[in-house]
Amino acid sequence: MENEEMLEQTNETENVETLTTEENVEGIELTDTADTEQVEEKEEVKTFTQEEVDEIVRKRLARKEKDFQQKLSKYQNAENVLNAGLGTKSIDEAESKLRDFYKEQGISMPEPVKQGLSDKELQILGQAEADEILDLGLEEAEREANRLAQKGHQNWTPKEEATFQKLASALTYEKQKRELKTIGADSTILDSKEFKDFASQFNANTDIKNIYNLYSKTSQPKQEKTIEKMGSMKNNATEEVKDFYTYEESLKFTRKDYEKNPALFKAVEQSMTKW
């Protein structure tokens, strides 16, 4: 009798353990499936507007610029110390002087590191970088141009020189457009090949408004010349060139006068700096 009761209790215990195990297994399976479904439902694709992309790029460039300036300052400090101690004016001159000194001491010096890219390739990269900066706006272009100007032309790499030249050209163009608009002139004339050729004969510092006024005068249709009297043997083109011409006097000359007498053109150009 006791054996039968013990057998029944054992069977009941096994049945309970089996049921508990099955419930646990089923519970784990259901929980895993539910979690997977929730994760899949939460997965979404993040999209950005063009303005957001531009802002991300701008911030990234700003961070790179900051990191670059921090690294550059260390090399600039070392360059200043070397130049002060050796009496040199550039890092190239300081390096050359140090190489010569240590060679005299019998110390073998490593060969200079060769640049991986040619000057032409670096110039192309510089122009591409200028395009990227101009895409960020004129303020960013002016900021970078000023930074390069402060560094000094003698310290530029071919890449930096190409970047500066393109930025400076774009900034000058925008400035000239604004100046021409102040006198009611059509700024699209800056794109005219004829005007570009005419303006190229003047000093870069010559006011674009003065150049435009001269161009407007000399590009007018030529009028028929009156026959000179017998006693007159000179005209404006052959007159003795003066040292200074007023603005009103310069407007009397035509392009043909300048072509016949280059000295006259140069005198007028020099006079323009004093108007």
222-273 per-position pLDDT tens digit = 444 444 443 333 444 445 778 777 777 777 777 777 777 777 777 777 777 7
Query: By C-alpha distance, which of 258, 256, 255 is closest to 266?
Result: 258
Question: What average pLDDT is seen over the chain?
Answer: 75
Tell me whether residue 3 is in a domain: no
Q: Is 26 a domain residue?
A: no
At position 258, the amino acid (one-letter code) is Y
Instruction: Give the 3-state secondary structure of residue 84.
Output: helix
Are the C-beta atoms of residues 147 and 128 closer than 8 Å to each other? no
Nearby residues of 260 by Cβ (< 8 Å), 6 or more positions away: 237, 238
d(CA 7, CA 69): 86
Write the pLDDT tens digit of every residue in 192-233.
888 888 888 888 788 898 888 888 877 755 444 444 443 333
DSSP conformational letter for 115 = P
Same domain, 67 and 131: no
Q: Which of 72, 107, 142 delimits the end of a domain?
A: 107
- CA–CA dist 20, 109 (Å, integer): 80
- Is the full-model pTM beyond 0.75? no
Structure tokens at 216: 């407007």
Residues 252/213, Cβ–Cβ less than 8 Å: no
Is 265 inside any structural domain? yes
What pLDDT score does 271 carry? 76
Distance CA 270, CA 244 (A): 8
Domains of the chain: total: 3
- What is the sign of the dihedral through the CA atoms of 137, 142, 148 and 153? positive
The whole-number pLDDT of residue 145 equals 93
Both 130 and 158 in one domain: the answer is yes
213 and 264 together in one domain: yes
Do the Cβ atoms of 253 and 218 come closer than 8 Å?
A: yes
Within-domain flag for 186: no
pLDDT at 23 over 60: no
Can you tell me which residue has the tokens 């057998």?
A: 7
Give the mean pLDDT of 101-125: 80
Instruction: Give yes or no: residues 93 and 154 share one domain.
Output: no
Q: Which domain holds residue 101?
A: 57-107
Q: Which amino acid is at 115?
A: Q
E-assigned strand segments in 50-113: none
Q: Are 92 and 152 members of one domain?
A: no
Residue 84 lies in a domain: yes
Is 51 part of a structural domain of the chain? no
Residue 145 lies in a domain: yes
What lies within 8 Å, CB to CB, of 139 at 6+ separation is: none
The rounded radius of gyration (Å) of the Cα atoms in the chain is: 40
Q: Is the pLDDT of residue 140 over 80?
A: yes
In this prediction, residue 113 has a pLDDT band, given cuts at 50, 70 and 90, of: low
Q: At CA 62, angle to CA 159 and CA 66, rounded to 5? A: 80
| Same domain? 173 vs 215 | no
Do 196 and 177 sit in the same domain of this protein? no
pLDDT score of 231: 38
Residue 71 lies in a domain: yes
HSE value, Cβ hemisphere, 13 Å, CA-based, for 25? 6
My answer on whether 217 and 261 are in the same domain is yes
Residue 128 token pair: 């591409």
In this structure, are 197 and 249 located in the same domain?
yes
* Average pLDDT value for residue range 175-197: 90
Which among 43, 78, 107 is the end of a domain? 107
Strands of the chain (E only): list them: none
Nearest to 148 by CA among 133, 112, 136: 133
